[in-house]
Chains A and B, each alone.
Chain A
Amino acid sequence: MFEAILLTVITASTPLVVAALGELVTERSGVLNLGVEGMMIMGAVCAFAAAQLSGSPYVGILAGIFGGGLFSLLFGFLTLTLVANQVATGLALTILGLGLSGQIGEVFVGQPGIKLQPIVFPILSDIPFFGRVLFSQDLIFYLSVALVVGINWFLFRSRTGLKLRAIGDSHSSAHALGINVIRTRYLAVMFGGACAGLAGAQLSLVYTPQWVENMSAGRGWIALALVVFASWRPWRILAGGYLFGAVGIGQLHAQIVAQNLGIVIPSQFLSALPYAATIVVLIIISHNRRTTLINTPASLGKPFVPDR
């Protein structure tokens, strides 16, 4: 049973992890995009629509990535080119995304979706326990792990990653060093959008292969919180995402176990657990002021206009 529960946790956590990773890169470049929920739901509807029309969930994944990325361009244009306020633009993006996705998806409501099938690694998948859990998953799960490793390498080992972090910490200095701040930020915003779109694709192709309005149901907000929770470090996103997912699934099992034991626990308290747990863990890991400050992009959310 433990294995089955773990598989459920993975499915529930993957979209949070993927979307949060994208937002992490965006925020590391100094841009705060609160529109994750909107980009995620756009990704979900694009992925579902493309999969239905083409018959292939892989086309759906591409469409989800593309849809989220394209949608984030709107945010990029407003906040980077026109230096509109990032917080307000991000929230407006969510309003627009929820409306637009509903409009696009209207014809797809009630259609049974195409589920993205797992890719089973031969031999490796025969390893007891780990084989099923780690090597018989769908593409998006593998991508989520690859993203963690890749982003970690990119941010802390690659030259471009160093530039990106430099921009996030001080766009003026980075600009003075000849780094193209706006172009890099555009790319970072689009990467964030693409990841949110991929997370959306996971919702409509893996988690629950169907399209219904608002199906992201607030997961974009959780992803945003995860970035802060992880203090802008990729590995911690993985940990935070799985913690949140595990507590969420755990509380459902706790309900049934409590019933078996005849204990009364109001389900609202159990439902509140993931949120409370996130706060508590953050308190524990953030008491060291210095490490938190080092990782927080100093120019996060601040507008930048190159002077010439």
Chain B
Amino acid sequence: MRIELQKRANVSTLFSIISPLLALLLTLVFGAIMFWLLGKSPLGSLYIYFVEPLLEVWSLHELAVKAAPLILIAVGLAVCYRSNNWNIGAEGQFTIGAITGSILPVLYPEWHSWAILPMMMVMGVIGGALYAAIPALLKTRFNTNEILTSLMLVYIAGLFLDWLVRGPWRDPKGYNFPVTKSFQVEAVLPEILDSGRAHWAFIFAIVAAMALWFMMRFMLKGFEVSVLGQSERAGRFAGFSARRMAWFSMLLSGGLAGLAGISEVSGSIGHLQPSISPGYGFTAIIVAFLGRLNPLGIIASGLVLALTYLGGEAAQAALQISDKAARVFQGMLLFFVLSCDTLIHYRIRLILAGGKTAEARA
């Protein structure tokens, strides 16, 4: 038996909708088996994982908190990847954005003005963009591969933050522990509603996704991104410059990652510390592809991925399964989602031995 794919003439709208549902169904079936093997009640476990986090208000807020940085970073990366620029280092741009955005509250803790917050956000964007400018410069000027440079810069950014909070930016009243002073009230990104922790980063994320969706769909720039992404040659004939696009997409994705960094520090943490991200910059890469590099799709995939974190934690707390089992389950879900997406572009045929063709209804 073997599997053959046949390209559909048109992208199947039907399967665009069915495929995620099918993936969910498969995940549920295999998840049930996994939980059963772990000696837990399958239905109860799945309920805790997928449904419970969506029923309570505080948990919905947490979902938004978790999804915001993922979406913000991923929409920028989507433009990058669509234009064939491989920024793998969003994690580093996130870190540097968090640092540059924190300059004002750390150095001027006595400055109480409404102006501080917008300035912090802008400085975060600039920091992230400048950090992404390094691989952009190296790529356009020295022809250095951006996958490698952006990835290496992640480690360097992390160590730089580490040095800052243990050295010059350490809170003098913090018993020499590696944290900066807590930001003044004016420097904290406010919550959207009184009912929970979700703050403005989520709104930034939605706005950024909408804006980029609009750009990709209706603006010449979006067309430029797609054309250059598909073929640099074709782009050249259209008068587009791959070099300028490398700059544009890297600065854009770096700036958004920087914004995510400073919003996370300002809205969720309230000070700088050695570890400010559980790998958002890397997880966002999955989010970007899971959302099919479409900004609106990324809103959905960001929320789904955030749900798997929350659900995994809920399952851990309620069932005392290990974090590893939650991680395995998350990996499984990603695999199903990715493989079911095939159905949107292809028809799948199962070829049985003896050349008989069984058309799977897919």
Contacts and interface: CB of A to CB of B under 8 A. Distances in A.
The answer on direct contact between A and B (beta carbons under 8 Å) is yes
Contact of A225 (B142, B148, B338): B148
Chain B contact residues (Cβ within 8 angstroms of A): what range? 35 or more
Given A83-B5, A229-B148, A88 B325 contact: no
A191 B346 CA distance: 28
B343 to A, nearest CB: 9
A157 B189 CA distance: 61
B147 interface: yes
A308 B153 CA distance: 45
A292 interface: yes
B142 to A, nearest CB: 5
Given A84-B338, A92-B338, A225-B151, A272 B143 contact: no
B327 A84 contact: no
B341 to A, nearest CB: 7
A272 B156 contact: yes
A272 B339 CA distance: 38
Given A99-B327, A268-B163, A88 B338 contact: yes
A91 B149 contact: no
Contacts of A307: 7
Chain A contact residues (Cβ within 8 angstroms of B): what range? 35 or more
Nearest to A93: B331
5 contacts: A93-B331, A96-B327, A103-B325, A272-B155, A272-B159
Interface stretch (B50-58, B256-264, B282-290): B282-290
* Interface of A (DSSP majority class): helix
Interface of A: 74, 78, 81-85, 87-89, 91-93, 95-100, 102-103, 106, 213, 221, 224-225, 228-229, 266, 268-269, 271-272, 275-276, 278-279, 282-283, 286-289, 292, 305, 307-308
Contacts, number: 141
B167 interface: yes
Given A92-B286, A283-B138, A283-B144, A99 B159 contact: no
A305 B345 CA distance: 11
B145 A278 contact: no
A128 to B, nearest CB: 37
Nearest to B84: A301
Contacts of B138: 279, 283
A125 B323 CA distance: 47
A276 B342 contact: no
Given A78-B338, A89-B338, A91-B285, A282 B324 contact: no
A40 to B, nearest CB: 15
B152 A278 contact: yes
B145 A282 contact: yes
Given A78-B335, A268-B160, A272-B159, A85 B152 contact: no
